[in-house]
Structure 1
Amino acid sequence: MIIFILLILLLFITAIQYLIIRKYVPKPFIHNNELQYIFYIIKEHKWPGLIVVILTGIQIFLSITLLIKILLRD
């Protein structure tokens, strides 16, 4: 059950990041990588960029937690 909740949280965080990136990154930027998006948003719009960075940190933590839960499952 915890694994399912972690997967849903990861999906929800990814959706929020996608919406922030689509809102604040201009169209010609769209085909570059995500790291360039984050640097652009931080440079041009400080708070949305910081939110994306914080969400990325939470995503990494949840991914590691999910991996540990799956590997230590009996």
Structure 2
Amino acid sequence: MARTMKDPASYFPAIEEKYGRPVAEWKDLIRSSPLTKHMELVSWLKTEHGFAHGHAYALVAHTLAEDSGSGR
């Protein structure tokens, strides 16, 4: 059975509920971090903010895509 990829934004309601901040705040934190690489940011969200891997990955992917102009 083929596995389908979810749109990263589909995780946003669960992220807001589980981690207690609006997605916009998390994106601002990601953008203000001195880290720039995708997996560095994912690891940072996991270790510093207790994110699950999938949530961190989706949030970072969406934020970096927006910033590169490919997420709009």
Q: Could you tell me the TM-score, scaled by structure 2's length? A: 0.36
More helix by share: 1
